[in-house]
Structure 1
Amino acid sequence: MKNIHLIANAHLDPVWLWRWQEGCSEALSTFKTVEEMTEEFEEFVFNHNEAILYEWVKDNSPGLFQKLQKAVEEGRWNIMGGWYLQPDCNMPSGESIVRNIERGRRFFREYFNSLPTTAINFDSFGHSRGLVQILKKAGYDSYIICRPAKNGFSFEEQDFEWEGLDGSTILVHRSDENYNSVWGQAAKELMEFLPLKVEEEVTLFLWGVGDHGGGPSRKDLQDLKELAENNKDYNLIHSTPEAYFKERITKVKEFPRVSKGLNPVAEGCYTSQIRIKQKHRELENELYSAEKMAAAAWLQCGRSYPEKEIKDAAGALIFSEFHDALPGSGSPLVETDTLRLLDYGLELMSRVKHSAALALAQGEKRVKEGTSVILFYNPHPFDITGVFSCETGLPVQNWSTDFMYPKVMFEGKQIPAQAEKESSNFNLDWRKKIVVQATLKASSINRMDVYFEPIPKRPVFAEIVSRPKYILDNGSMKVVIDTATGLLKEYSVKGVRYLEEESLQLVCFEDTHNPWGFGKWESRSRRAFQLLTPHEAAEYCGLSEKVIPAVRIIEDGEVRTTVEAVFGLHDSKAYIRYHIPKKGSCFDVEIGVHFQEKEKYLKAILKTPEEYEALHGQIMFGREELNKDKETVSQKWTMAVDGTMDKALAIINNGTHGASYTGREFGITLLRSAGYTSSDFIMGKALQEEQWAPRMEQGERFYHFRIQGGAAAEVERMIDREALVFNEEPYGFSFCPPEEGEAAGQFITIDNPQVIISAVKRAENFDGYILRVYESTGKSAKANIRMLDGRINQEVSLGGFEVKSYKIDLAEGRLTETGLIEEYQAENRDEAIRD
């Protein structure tokens, strides 16, 4: 008889249409009821994952938690999956996914002595190809998903071999029956499903009431028991994912192979609730740069490592990655809670970073009389050249009407510097935003002494609207702005054109009200924002007594020129700022949108001179070619590339994930004004009540991009490093050093741009530190890693897209390769740290 592995579960979203408090309560209720059922029904096995839910039980119902431990020990309850929670599987970095798995596996190993080998992400909206290597190195041999559904594959089989970027593979089961069953209908649904899978020699069936918990009902269990006793065709087994795969691989020797990401799925989720996505990226950036700084501060200066603060911030980050929080498919209350949680993590990391920076600044000489000091800590293992800014105060408040202009000395030389509008509007010449062009030394403090000289007034800049175009040419790069439209007319590098006229136009498209969906494909209508009139520009900028041009220079100096243009569409307004440096081949774009449209999506459109052959994007621990015919998802960068023309155009972002490239239009998706959790269902169309209903992204939203064109090979080689620097900016702060202690020196350097640091952090399983690196281009690489001024100086080798973790062994003066996921060992850690 054919074995049917019944996997009882209760898909329980911690948040979705409800807040975490209700998710917590439902976990307690579901777990209590199901534990009783495992005692009542012989041979019944219940499966559940997500350590966060078990933590809630442990903290709020210790007696029930002890019963769960006993049930697991007796085999009535199976720990499934083993992650902390089921995240979005596209937008978090590879490092974030490692932390999710690490935290979950540590919890289940410590409290249940369980180490699952089948990972599960039933409800995630697609899966990054970078997951394969992570899963293999985390100890998994199999994976269960429900999305994309079978219509997203070229074969009928539910099981297939998924190949990762590095060539590793994992066996995946695509559950075509989905993860839920209707209360009391499990047996009926099973008998409807099995005829569709008659070719399978063994079958897996997920069942149990879910989404809001519940799991098996007594009626379902009784019905399944009767079905098992009365049918002659199937052997129904209450089972586990691991048992299914163990039998499956004995029945089939060869599976279909998939060698790409399992996308797209629910494309609207790549952009919905954009503030969560931006703040999630910000916390990723701050957490991982704070860890590097805290590790350096301890190993170089003896400053204690802030383990609890980092653990709490990492917990906030992981929870925000839940697959109905980060994708923007939760309710308005979930959006509010997630933003609040991310802010909590950001506040913790702001304190960690500043404390580490102060420690790393020891040994700096006292401030010179009449000057101010700004310091930049570069957390990266390589020198970085670019434009950097920091606010400081004058050494003495200026009570005159003169404007004090900065002159900056760095390493004994004067460097290009300018004063720009500070963040405050207190109309006294006192606070200064200093902008410099400099090369910051790797992994160390960079000190700049600021002198001030009086000029008669704050600089004003020549008008440009009388010219048909405004040209900025620094010798390496040419940027032309059309003063009649406010749009980019040309971007060239070394005489090669990468963008054409009407680039960076803001365009609204018809959208669905559904946060998971994307676009009304039957209607491709588009409405572009238009340049405001001078009166409208003044009104938008809040200048009631002035009339100003809609396109104007707002900053200029030795370092860069900033041009601002303001636009409108119906009741919506926007500004674009072009930050064009006096050196280099890339420039930054800042966009602010005050959006009032409903059921629209907004793109910034860049137009290329010709259509590029491919679109690539960064994914977990690597990169992948994206589908040009679909809305795509990627991480810190997206790039149009053409090897034949030897051209690449990369857009680096700090929290936008959706993009498209159709014809010659490169579209960066900024926002969607869909309804919250809005879906047409059995009661009819959503959002038809005759009352006001909130839509997403009503109000101000802000964006920052870097645009880089160049020869294909060079841009592809450097893009991951450039995107990392753009996201994890050097930490700039104003400080009057007390001249105490000895200078810290350089913490770490890596001499190959292909090799990227993913983390430097305190270890979980020994009293020391972990370094994690990966190869970013897909080509094997060697790199020399030098730490602590030469105490460690070692060459490492990585295959294409390979991830490796190393123990930093100071006693031996070497790096020792270790596992990707750290096993928890209580005897090696303080109880205070563990708790």
Structure 2
Amino acid sequence: SSRQNQQILAVEEVVENKDAIESANFGKISEFESENKVSSRQNQENLKVSENLPLPHSPLPPLPIWKDELYLEFHRGCYTTRADQKRQNRRCEELLYQAELLSSISTICTGAVYPKSELETAWKQVLFNQFHDILPGSAIAQVYVDANLAFAEADRTCREIMAKSLEAIAAQISLPSPPQPDAQPILIFNPLNWLRSEVVAVPIPDSAAETWQIYDCSGQRLATQISRVDRPEPQFTLLFLVNNLPAVGYRVFWLCRAEAETLENSLPPTQKLLQIDLAQVTNNLTPKLAVCQETHFETERKVLENEFIRATVDCETGNLSSIWDKVNHREVLNTFGGDRLQAFSDSGQYWDAWNIDPNYQKHQLPSPLLKDISWVEQGEVRQSLRVTRQIGKSMFCQDYIVDIGSPLLKIKTVVDWQETHVLIKTAFGLNQSANFATCEIPCGTIDRPTQPQTAAEKAKWEVPILRWVDISNDGFGVSLLNDCKYGCDFQPNQLRLTLLRGSTWPDELADIGIHEFTYAVYPHSGNWQNAGTVRRGYELNLPSLVQVFPQLGENCHKTLPTVGKFLDLSADNLVLMAFKQSEDDANFWIVRCYESEGKQAVLELDGDLGLAIVRPVDLLEKSANSPQKSDDGRSLKISPWKIVSLAVNRYCTIQQTVKS
């Protein structure tokens, strides 16, 4: 009992001490708060006084100005590591643009429901994957299992939206009489906001044993060529040139089956150029195409040629030994040649996936081993030469492609990559010299020196680009385009594109496996602005869409013509970035574009949708201060490099609103 009383007294003493401490602390806190309030009032009074003080007699020294990019001198490897993520990201961004574009047109023209929630989900999936360390390629392996699922789902969603939208648009086209009763209409759609011409590939419904023809809607038969695509699975296609495809528009053609004998007797000699060796088709998954006696191509010289360029391939190395510009009458490459694959030992500096070894160029590996050179196609529409080379345990299969009507030499590449701590670049030695290279960046360009002088310039031995890099001087230039590569370097007379790396940490199998990508050489007169390099870069990344439909029934109540132009911005230097439904009001649409050449532009809305500007908006689609639109709402002046978003509506809807 005595011990219990002592414990109770001890507890009471502790409680009393605690209360005393808390009381003292509360007093100190109150005192501090009181002093702080007084200090705050004094500061406010001092601030009011300081506002009335006269300015100093001598001006303050100006702050330094940094007029250049904020270049990070580490993590240069992130432009290239996990190339599959870069490719999927580029593809999904392009698909989202096209899905929004087509669904908007479909909703306006056909009354279809705009897939807002599906698009929002797909956007969030893609944007989440742009977080570091996912898109830079510096995450652990499990991250990419999840990222690939998200990319695949976004890809599937966009393609489904695009297919439904194209079908709805096609159903509104009033078709002329077909050249044959069983002819199938083909819709070729251009997702870009300028007139373009290009070779397209139409899937052949049955097999290559049949002969197929393409007619335009005036009944004219077009030059065609049978081609074979082996990935993702073997399929035959029919190639033909589509001329003057309207801005954000389409043309309709007819796919017809014909008897081979009838076609053979009716075609001019140049149309007999290509035939399929059916025995090779049966016995070989990658058949060679037999060339008839009429051909004028000297196949043993390994020369690809069209009306713009003549490219020669070195039969000992597989490199390009010459690209002759037939328009400007000059050689593009110097004696170094082009598409020279260069391998380097790359230890990854401090962080393997993030960094490239600064001394990688001192550790160049042996040149690739040429395994095979063979013709894939030698037709009137397309020529394609396949070069297979080996680097270490890895195989590079590259198709040099020249299409009729195109000034580009495309290099379509499939790689089975099995290397670790190896860096691969493709190099092009140019028959000219320039003090700087122009690189595309999002919604603009940047000039970077080819002969660095300062420490900051010398640190930029690997730089990021978007769709292209260009060297131009003395009225001539060369652009190197790509469809999913970002790392690059250059010298006064050389361009190099970084293709692959072999990092092993934090993912030991980061880039091991199959890779597919395309890059292209574009020789041109003038500078990149005169040559339309921005457009060529977009065209490589966004080919025209091809959709084959069955007969679409009677033409009653169909309002669209066989050639249509939905949306034209009417300025060569404006690029459409988005055409979508407004987030807040389904009665309005958002047009977003940017000026791409550093010059003033005048936007004028044109096209079959009959759109007019309601008001400029910001990126959140709220009303924004901007140059005034014209009285009719069709035009707007845009400053150099400016990104502009506009709320638009159909002109007839606006007129009805004004009248009411």
Q: So what's the TM-score if we normalise by structure 2?
A: 0.74
Select 1:393's aligned residue among 202, 205, 209.
Answer: 205
**Deviation per CA, 1:380-399, whole angstroms, max 9, x where unpaired?**
222211111131304xxx6x
Match of 1:409 among 194, 215, 220: 215
SS in 1 for 2:185: strand
Quote the residue 1:784 is aligned against: 604
Q: Distance in 2 between matches of 1:461 and 1:551?
A: 16
2:166 and 2:367 mapped to 1: Cα distance?
A: 43
Q: Match of 1:389, SS?
A: strand
Partner of 2:302: 470
Q: What amino acid sits opposite 2:355 in the alignment?
A: G
Secondary structure of 1:484's aligned partner: coil
Matched, 1:345 2:154: yes
Residues 744-801 of structure 1 show CA distances to partners (whole Å, capped at 9, x for unaligned) of 3431112222011111111112222100111001111123221435454722211110
Indicate the residue corresponding to 1:638 in structure 2: 469
Q: In structure 1, how many angstroms separate the alpha carbons of the residues matched to 2:423 and 2:297?
A: 30
Q: CA deviation at 1:634?
A: 1.4
Rounded to whole Å, the distance in 1 between the matches of 2:302 and 2:102 is: 42
Name the structure 2 match of 1:587. 409
Is 2:165 the partner of 1:356? yes
Cα pair distance change 1:663/1:559, threshold 3 Å: same
8 Å CA contact retained: 2:477, 2:525: yes
Matches within 5 A, 1:301-380: 301-362=110-171, 363-365=173-175, 368-380=180-192
**What is the CA–CA distance in structure 1 between the aligned matches of 2:118 and 2:193, rounded to whole Å?**
24
Map 1:211-290 → 2, pairs under 5 A: 255-265=63-73, 266-290=75-99
Closer, same or farther: CA 555–305 of 1 in aligned 2, 3 Å? same
Instruction: State percent identity of aligned pairs.
Output: 18
Instruction: Tell me the distance in 1 between the aligned counterparts of 2:438 and 2:231.
Output: 40
Structure-1 residue corresponding to 2:323:
491
1:613 to 1:423, Cα distance in 2 relative to 1, 3 A: same
**Aligned partners of 1:788, 1:426: CA distance in 2, in Å?**
38
Q: Match for 1:794 among 589, 611, 634?
A: 634
3-state secondary structure, aligned to 1:765: coil
Q: Distance in 1 between matches of 2:233 and 2:157?
A: 29
Task: Give runs of aligned pairs for residues 427-442 of structure 1, distance below 5 A.
Answer: 432-439=236-243, 440-442=245-247
Given that 1:622 and 1:777 are in contact with CA atoms closer than 8 Å, whether structure 2 keeps it comes out as: yes
CA separation of 1:426 and 1:383: change in aligned 2, threshold 3 A:
closer
Correspondence 1:123-138 to 2 at 5 A = none
Q: When the two structures are aligned, how many residues end up with a matched partner?
A: 530
Cα gap change, 1:623 to 1:465, in 2 (>3 Å): same
Please say if residues 225 and 381 of structure 2, whose CA atoms lie closer than 8 Å, have aligned partners that are also in contact: yes
Listed as ranges, the matches of 1:601-750 within 5 Å are: 601-628=423-450, 629-642=460-473, 645-677=474-506, 694-713=508-527, 718-739=532-553, 741-744=557-560, 745-750=564-569
Distance 2:225 2:385 in 1: 15
Give the deviation of 1:610 after TM superposition: 3.0
Kindly indicate whether the alpha-carbon contact (under 8 Å) linking 1:773 and 1:803 is maintained by their aligned counterparts in 2. Answer: yes
Q: 1:699 to 1:310 in 2, by over 3 A?
A: same
Distance 1:699 1:426 in 2: 18
User: C-alpha offsets along residues 542-572 of structure 1, whole Å, 9 cap, x if unaligned?
Assistant: xxxxxxxx11111122211000011112211
Following the alignment from structure 1 to structure 2, what is the Cα–Cα distance between the partners of residues 774 and 361?
Answer: 30
Question: For residues 310-359 of structure 1, what are the alpha-carbon distances to aligned partners after superposition, in whole Å with 9 as ceiling and x for unaligned?
Answer: 10111011111112111111111112222221111111001110011001
Does the 8 Å CA contact 2:415/2:515 hold for their aligned counterparts? yes
Q: How far is the alpha carbon of 1:529 from its aligned partner?
A: 4.6
Letter in 1 for 2:240: V
Amino acid at match of 1:722: R
Deviates most, 362-371 or 598-607? 362-371
Check 1:403–1:318 CA distance in 2 against 1; reply closer, same or farther (3 A cut): same
Partner of 1:421: 228
Q: How does 1:115-154 map to 2 (within 5 A)?
A: none
For 1:447, the equivalent position in structure 2 comes to: 252
Matched with 1:537 is: none
Q: Is the 8 A contact 1:488 1:500 kept in 2?
A: no
Please tell me whether the aligned partners of residues 529 and 567 of structure 1 are also in contact (alpha carbons under 8 angstroms): no
561 and 465 in structure 1: CA distance in 2 versus 1, 3 angstrom threshold: closer
| Contact 1:754/1:775, CA 8 A, preserved across alignment | yes
Deviation of 1:469 (Å): 3.3
Asked whether the 8 Å contact 2:605–2:611 carries over to 1, the reply is no
Counterpart-to-counterpart distance in 2, 1:418 and 1:714? 32
Distance apart, 1:259 and its partner CA: 1.9
Distance of 1:638 and 1:499 partners within structure 2? 16
Amino acid at match of 1:475: E
Q: Residues 585 and 709 of structure 1 are in contact (CA less than 8 Å); yes or no, is this contact kept in structure 2?
A: yes
Shift of 1:627: 4.9
1:520-531 to structure 2, matched below 5 A, reads 520-521=358-359, 524-531=362-369
Shift of 1:666: 1.3
Amino acid at match of 2:498: T
**2:72 & 2:548 partners in 1: Cα distance?**
45
CA distance in structure 2 between the aligned counterparts of 1:446 and 1:343, rounded to whole angstroms = 30
> For the residues of structure 1 that align with 2:258 and 2:396, how far apart are their CA atoms?
36
Cα distance in structure 2, aligned partners of 1:527 and 1:414: 52
CA 1:470–1:715: 2 relative to 1, 3 Å = farther
Distance 1:647 1:490, change over 3 A: same
Deviations 1:613-634 (A, max 9, x none): 2111111211111354511101
Q: For the Cα contact (< 8 Å) 2:346–2:360, is it kept in 1?
A: no
Matched position secondary structure for 2:77: helix
SS of the residue 1:257 aligns to:
coil
Instruction: Tell me if structure 2 keeps the 8 A contact 1:361–1:737.
Output: no
Matched residue SS, 1:527: coil
Instruction: Report the alpha carbon displacement of residue 598 of structure 1 after superposing the two structures with TM.
Output: 0.9
Q: CA RMSD in A?
A: 3.2
Q: Helix, strand or coil for the counterpart of 1:532?
A: strand
Distance, in Å, in 1 between the alignment partners of 2:470 and 2:210 is 42
User: 1:455 deviation in Å?
Assistant: 4.7
For 2:374 and 2:576, how far apart are their aligned partners in 1? 40
SS of alignment partner, residue 695 of structure 1: coil
Specify the alignment match of 2:285 in structure 1.
none
Task: Determine helix, strand or coil for the equivalent of 1:499.
Answer: coil
Q: Is the 8 A contact 1:709 1:715 kept in 2?
A: no
Please, which moves more after superposition, 465-474 or 491-500?
A: 465-474
Please state if 1:458 is matched with 2:272: no
* Map 1:459-608 → 2, pairs under 5 A: 459=277, 460-461=289-290, 469-493=301-325, 494=327, 495-500=329-334, 502-513=337-348, 514-521=352-359, 524-533=362-371, 550-608=372-430
What SS does the corresponding residue of 1:415 show, helix, strand or coil? Answer: coil
Q: Tell me the distance in 2 between the aligned counterparts of 1:303 and 1:799.
A: 36
For structure 2, the 5+ residue unaligned runs are: 1-28, 34-38, 40-50, 262-274, 278-288, 451-459, 613-632, 656-660
Question: What does the per-residue CA deviation read over 1:637-666, in whole Å, with 9 as the maximum and x for residues that have no partner?
Answer: 111222xx2222112211111111135331
Distance 2:463 2:226 in 1: 39
